[in-house]
Amino acid sequence: MAKRPGSPKPETHETDTNAVSTEVVSGETKPSPREAAVEALMRLAAEQPWNDIEVGDIAREAGLSLAELRDLFPSKGAVLGGLSRIIDRKVLEGDNSDLADEPTRERLFDVLMRRLDAMTPYKDALRRISYALRGDPLSMLALNGVALNSHRYMLAAAGINTEGPLGRLKLQGVVIAFARTVEVWLDDDDPALARTMARLDKEIRNGERFMERADDARRLTAPFRALGRSLLDRGGRARRARHAADDRNEDAGNPLGGDPAAAI
């Protein structure tokens, strides 16, 4: 099993207003408005119930007007989704060159542990938010979409392909595996994170076995899928031939063409 990696590199500067970034003012690092809003929400969520937090609270805590916050995020949930971009950036800016010679399982393990490292400053807030949203299926579905985008890049950082027939299945599997790991991590107060690492290793191994079975099933069913496509194509050609014959018959009875209104 791979060792838990250290913290990733600090963020670099970015000028795109839609990106998570920081800027240096008078020698001090100042967060971008987007990052300020996300950090404000995390501070509030660490101290009070999720359902008590209003967008006005976020704006005040971030030092933004409501108009400025609205330009950045359409909702409180979108601000929460913005945290994923901050975490993504921290992980992706880290040096992954030491993973090049590792087996696939170890590369993925290391990348996901780095993600947990980047999430650690927000652990108290994420614990409270997680408990609050467990009974909200619509919010969980929305967050799953955010997680799919994030983990597409996590898999890329681990050198794992997400394209092809099984790519979406692979991506969703990693999202579920990481979510199960996070459940353990939120209650794991051991600095060594032994329980968390054991769960992550187990989830990755289970995912490998599932994908192997899915790949085997795809290979076994390939002849049947090819036959099905052939029958569909043949049926489509027959229908098109019948339609063409019908059109010719109609035209034969109507010298002005197939449209009856043309005789007027």
For 165-205, give the secondary structure using H, E and C: CCHHHHHHHHHHHHHHHHHHHHCCCCCCCHHHHHHHHHHHH
- How many percent of the chain have pLDDT more than 90? 53
Q: What is the pLDDT of residues 99-121, one digit of tens each?
A: 777 888 899 999 999 999 999 99
Measured distance CA(7)–CA(15) in Å, rounded: 24
Question: Residue 164 — left, alpha, or beta (φ > 0 → left; ψ -120 to 50 → alpha)?
Answer: left
Which of residues 215 and 67 earns the better pLDDT score?
67
- How many percent of the chain have pLDDT more than 70? 69
Measured distance CA(166)–CA(18) in Å, rounded: 31
pLDDT of residue 166: 78
Ranges of each domain in the chain:
22-215
Residues in contact with 129: Cβ distance below 8 Å, sequence separation at least 6, in sequence order: 45, 50, 80
pLDDT of residue 84: 96
pLDDT of residue 97: 74
Residue with tokens 């704006």: 59
The rounded mean pLDDT for the chain is 79
For the ranges 14-23, 78-87, 105-114, 150-159, the lowest mean pLDDT is seen at 14-23
Residue range 70-81: mean pLDDT, rounded? 95
Which uninterrupted H or E stretch holds 224?
helix 194-253
Residue range 139-160: mean pLDDT, rounded? 92
CATH-assigned architecture of domain 22-215: Orthogonal Bundle (1.10)
For the ranges 76-80, 128-132, 209-213, the lowest mean pLDDT is seen at 209-213
Q: What is the pLDDT of residues 170-218, one digit of tens each?
A: 888 999 999 999 999 999 999 999 999 999 999 999 978 767 665 544 4
pLDDT of residue 25: 46
> What are the phi and psi torsion angles at 29 (to 5°)?
-80, 125
Which of residues 72 and 242 earns the better pLDDT score?
72
pLDDT of residue 226: 52
> What are the phi and psi torsion angles at 34 (to 5°)?
-60, -45
DSSP 38-86: HHHHHHHHHHS-GGG--HHHHHHHHT--HHHHHHH-SSHHHHHHHHHHH
Residue with tokens 């590792």: 102
Q: What is the DSSP letter of 158?
A: T
Residue with tokens 């790949």: 215
Which of residues 17 and 167 earns the better pLDDT score?
167
Residue range 26-37: mean pLDDT, rounded? 81
